[in-house]
Structures are given as C-alpha cells and as structure tokens.
Amino acid sequence: MKSVFKGEHDLDIIDDLRKIVIDSINQLVKEHKKSELLNLESIVIEIPKGSIRGDYSTNAAMIIAKDFSLSPKDIGEELKNILMRSKLIDTVSLEGPGFLNIILNESIWTQLLSNILLITTRYGKLDLGQKRKVNVEFVSANPTGPLHIGHVRGAIFGDALSRLLEYTGFIVTKEYYVNDGGAQIDVLGRTLYHRYLELQGDTADLPDEAYPGDYLVPVATALYEKYGDSLITMGVEERHALVCDFAILEMMQLIKNDLKSLGISMDNYFSEKMMIDSGQIDRAIRILEKKNLIYQGVLEAPKGKLQEDWKSREQILFKSTQFGDDMDRPIKKSDGSWTYFAPDLAYHGDKLKRKYDLIVDVLGADHSGYVKRIEAVVKALSSSPVDFKVKLIQLVRLLKNKKPLKMSKRSGDYIMIDDLLKDVSSDVIRFVMLSRKNDVPLDFDVDLILDKSKDNPVFYVNYAHARIHSILSKASQSGLWSEAMNKLEMGTTGSFNSQEIMILIKLSEWPNIIRQATRYQEPHRISYYLYELSSLFHSLYQSGEKDDPYKFIILENKVLSLQRLCLAKSIQIVIKNGLQVLGIVPLKEMY
RNA sequence: GGCCCCGUAGCUCAGCUGGAUAGAGCAACUGACUUCUAAUCAGUAGGUCGUACGUUCGAAUCGUACCGGGGUCACCA
C-alpha cells in the first residue's frame, strides 16, 4: 500500500489523515456489506488539547456507530485495526466515549519540515477556489469626506478577506460602490460652494445641514484656481452640477489616498451615478415587474414606537416579503425620485450579470436591517441560485484612556485615518482590527495603541518572526545555516522533544486554518493562529535560555542544530505566509 | 413590538457545523536577563459558559421560552 504522504503534492497532514480515516471507513462499509452512503461530513480530525495522549484525534467512530448499529467502542475497535495498518500511523488508541487518538510515525515530522522548506510560500496555499470568481464589495463610504475611524474595520476586513480568497485560488474583484448620485452629493456641492464663497470674503455661517470640518477648504482653493470667480455669475444649475462633479472627484481622491495608506487598493470603483444615467434601474425594475414583484400598495404603519410623521400613502413597492423580508420595500419617494434602495437593487442586479460564483457584501452592523431586502433582491433577480453572503462588521468602540470617546458629527471632530497613521503603522491597525470576529464589537483604545504599542499582539507575532531571523543570521555566521543549503539533505536526529512536536503539530494545522478561515470567511482565525504559533515558539526559545541542549545553535552537534534551525525556519515561513495574507509586513528586526 | 448581533475568569475576548478535564491576553501574585533579541518565558490564582426546559450516548455549541446589553426598524443614505 502506497503512502498517501509520499506523493508530490504539498503536505496537508490533517486533510491527508482525514482521507485515510474515510478510506478506512469505506473499507469497513465493504466488510459489513453496507451499501448505503454514510454521511461523513461531520468527521473531523482535531488536535486534542490538554494532557490527552495523541497527536491528532478523530470523532469518526462516534459518528458512524449508528450506521453500523454498533456501539462507538465496538466500531472504533474495528476502525482502529484498519488504521493501524497505515505506515504513517504509529499508534491508535480508543479512549473516552469513542475517540480515536492517533500518534503518527515520527518520520512524518522530518517530511513536514522538508515540505515547508521546499515550498515555502505555497505551504497553506490551497486551491479552494479553482479560479471561481468572487466579488467583494467593501468600504463604499459616501464620497462626502475623507475616511474616518469608523470605516477602518470594514475596510481592513474586506481587504484581508480578499487577500485570503486570492491566496486560496479565487479570482477576486475588490469593489467600491460610489454613492455619487444621491441627495448627500447636493449637500456636498453646496458646502463646497460655501467654502468657495468664503475664499472670496463671504462671512456667512456654515449652514446647519452642511458638512462640518475644514477638509473642503483646500478643495475650494483648487476650485478657485481652476475657475477663478467665474462660478458666481454662472447659472445656478450649471454651477451646481460642476461643483458637485468637482467635489466628488476630489473626495474620491482623498478616499483613495486613505485606502492606499492602509495598504488597500480596489479593483473597481462602481459609480452609482453612471449606473442611474445608463437606465439600469428601470431595466432592473422591469425584470421584477415581469416576475410580478412590483406593485402599487400601502405599507402598514411601523409597530412599536409611534412615528410622528408617519402617513399612510400609496407607493411603488418591491415584494421582498416573498423572499423572507419583514415588509415590502418602497422604491420611489413621493416626489417621484428613487429611494436609496432602488439603485442598490439595480447595482446587485449588475453584479449578478457579471457572473460571479460568490458575491460578498461587507456592511456595517448598522445596516443589519438592510440585509434581508438585499438578499431578496439577489434571489429575485438571479435566474439560478447564487452564493451571496453579507458580512456584518460590528462597530469599533473608540476609547481614550479606557473611556468611551465621543465623536460628534456636528463639530466634525472625527478621528481621521491619516491622523491615526501619523502615530501608528497600518500594520498595527490591521492586526487590531482583525483580532476579533467580525460580528463582535471591538474596543480600540487610542492611547493604548499610541503609547504602549508593545501591548499589541502584532508585536508579539513579529517578535517571533524577527527572533528567528536573528537566530538564522547568527547560524549563518557559524556556517551552520545558509539560505542556499539543500534542506532536503538536512541531517536530522529523527527524533523531536515533546515541545518541538507540539510546534510541528501546530505547523501541520496551518493549511487547515486557511481552509476554515476561507470557508467561514473569517480572517480573524489567522490572527489567533499566528499568536498561538508565536507563543509556542517563544516558549521553546526560552527553554534554550535555561538549558543549553535546547538551543537552536549547538556548535558541537551540527545535526541536531540543523534540525532545530529547520524547525525555526519553518515557523518563520508560516508566520510570514500568515501575516502576508492579513496584509501585514513581517519584520526582520524589532528596533 | 418585529428583525439582527452579543451574554464564557475581575476586564477584553477565543472556542459555537454537538464530543474527552471549557482556553488565551490584560489586571493580581511568585520567579527567570553574564543570552540564539526579556517587546520574552515559567508558575500561582481566578468559572452555576445569562436562566430554564427540550433534543441524545454526550450541549458553552443545536431548538424553544425567558432575562440582560447593543444595533436597526424612514420617502435618510
């Protein structure tokens, strides 16, 4: 019987082990003359925690017990006997309610290290996407001002998710929906014109509805440089259109700069205005009309708290309740103009036309009430079921000295991204933003980040990376190590201590972490993994501090030394791969 | 009132696609710097996994109800 591990493929021990278990089960199925297919989806290979003996464990026996009408212990015993035949498996023990604890043949660890050293950046780079097309829409902030801290989390999440999907073989389009067609643009235009008049001596106060903050002042200067005072005598409508267009261009430039400084580049900026002008809304609505999903009707008044200005009125509605929404949704205002929903409806229709296999919307949690109607649109407009996911990003609670920091929209005292980046690198911000699951609120303490940045876990991870770099360069000086060295011929003692094996098991988990993070679209799993891996490394490193035999560089034992250095290098490779998926630059030194 | 998210150690959170003795960080306490980088490590202490019922061999994880916190329920965007 040929070893599964001996193929030329990149090593993915957990997945391979799972295949061995499944093969063994299929063999049992034959032996027991069972013909029906078993549901093997929930069979998992796990890394047991605590003091349980075993490199890996599987719940297989407990899952299949029913199908065989046997107890988990009995079927587990049979499964164990088959598993024991595999050359890769050293021992299998049946424990607890029916877990099979597996210890692999120790030669696997040398193979794992050779494999990681050989394929480096490719280790963990699974082809899960197989060139399927994905659209990830994120940020999509209104082009009425620069990005502030509230936008950062969604921006970084969307970018990291996109990187992850690209890493795993998807073809990703990172897209920004530019709301350049709505009423807020009129306000923007009027505010800019006000600033423009100020330049020419007009001392009127900023109107209440105008955008606060002085970021439009330089834009007004640019406007003046281009047009002089000719705007004042221009026709109102012509002037307003011109000012608005100018403002949008400038605002998008600000936003693009902010994104760039966070390491984010979009593939596509989708203009709402251009879409409206090309008549796409009408077309999308005509499709819905054909499906009988548009009607004139009256909505019931909202229940619960009384809405003072509520008036019953007949409107053009989209029958989103047919797809699970709570109420049908209006698409036109009483003045005949579109609601916000109408262009967004057409926009998702446009995404569908572009034939993506997966469409992801990254939205702020304050849009949670909006999710169902968008899902309804996607269902209504697509001819075949499409994989559509909305990822809601919870708010960032901004703290200063552990106290909530109020940001007032009126005074315009938002913390802007470029302010933040003056004091702290985008890498640090990235790691913090990715250190929580997307649907949990995140505390972001400005002081903690600014003054005591070493409390940030990204330094912990980077410190491990840098330490390894340092060890390796020291080892190079002693001639024990060189990047050009043929690692496949590395000497190994063939045996590893328990601390090293814990790390090797952790390293073997990396492809699986990538698999899970991709499947659930949860980049934070990578942050946690990297922290844990770094922790194991620091611990191992410290063992060498106390005991010379545990050092990485042991001049009098070149074989052992090389083995340790290969382990260190492998850890470094995985940390580097992980940080790069998160869009963070791995450091070679900390000072 | 409807819908969505959350409730796990003093604090901030992992774990949630059902599995074994529920894990980290911070804070507290004890200890380790003639070094391969102490931005680190070792150890101690800390728990009715919001409550109750249910599903089953087995529940922090799934279901129902309730309690508590947040968000959202416009012709806003």
Q: What is the ipTM of this complex?
A: 0.96
Query: Which nucleotide lies at the shortest CA–C1' distance from A272?
Result: B77
Straight-line distance from CA A591 to C1' B33, in Å? 18
Distance, CA of A496 to CA of A550 (rounded, Å): 11
Interval A405-453: pLDDT, tens? 766 555 556 778 888 888 888 999 999 999 999 999 998 887 777 766 6
A150: CB within 7 A of chain B nucleic strand: no
Instruction: Say whether pLDDT at A234 is over 80.
Output: yes
- Which pLDDT belongs to residue A409? 53
Residue A298's DSSP bridge partners are: A314
Measured CA to CA, the distance from residue A137 to residue A140 in angstroms comes to 7
Domains, chain A, ordered by start? 4-105 (3.30.1360.70), 456-582 (1.10.730.10)
Looking at residue A285, its amino acid is I
Inter-CA distances, A399 with A406, A426, A435, A448, Å = 9, 18, 16, 9
Average pLDDT over residues A20-27: 93
Q: What does the pLDDT average to over A471-493?
A: 78
- Distance from C-alpha of A406 to C-alpha of A446, rounded to nearest angstrom: 12
Residues 6+ apart with CB under 8 A from A564: A500, A551, A552, A553, A554
A183 touches strand B (CB under 7 A): yes
According to the model, what pLDDT value does residue A334 have?
83
- What tokens does A423 get? 């004091």
Structure tokens at A553: 């560089």
Evaluate if the CB of A301 falls below 7 Å from strand B. no
Q: Would you state the pLDDT for residue A129?
A: 96
Give the pLDDT confidence score for residue A411 in this predicted structure. Answer: 53
Query: Is A2 in contact with A23 (CB distance < 8 Å)?
Result: no
Q: Which of A436, A465, A443, A415 is nearest to A579 (CA)?
A: A465
Nucleotide nearest to A522 (CA to C1'): B14
What is the gyration radius of the CA atoms in chain A, in angstroms?
A: 30
Q: Which nucleotides of B are covered by protein (CB under 7 A)?
A: 1-6, 12-15, 17-26, 32, 35-42, 57-58, 70-77
Q: Can you tell me the distance from the alpha carbon of A226 to that of A216, in angstroms, rounded to the nearest whole number?
A: 15
CA of A439 to C1' of B69 (A): 15
Q: Using CA atoms, how far apart are residues A220 and A225, in angstroms rounded to an integer?
A: 9
% residues pLDDT > 90 (chain A): 69
Distances (CA, A) of A94 to A75, A83, A277: 10, 12, 68
DSSP A122: G
- Condensed to tens digits (0 to 9), the pLDDT of residues A314-335 reads 889 999 999 989 899 999 988 8
User: Would you say residue A540 has pLDDT above 90?
Assistant: yes
What confidence tier does A189 reach under pLDDT thresholds 50, 70, 90?
Answer: very high
For the segment A200-216, the average pLDDT, to the nearest whole number, is 89
Q: Highest mean pLDDT: which of A66-70, A148-152, A463-467?
A: A463-467
Burial class of A396 by CB neighbour count within 10 A (0 to 12, 13 to 18, 19+): buried
* Interacting residues of A458 by C-beta distance below 8 A, sequence separation 6+: A427, A428, A430, A431, A432, A584
Residue closest to sugar C1' of B18 by CA: A42
Each residue's pLDDT tens digit, A132-167: 999 999 999 999 999 988 899 999 999 999 999 999
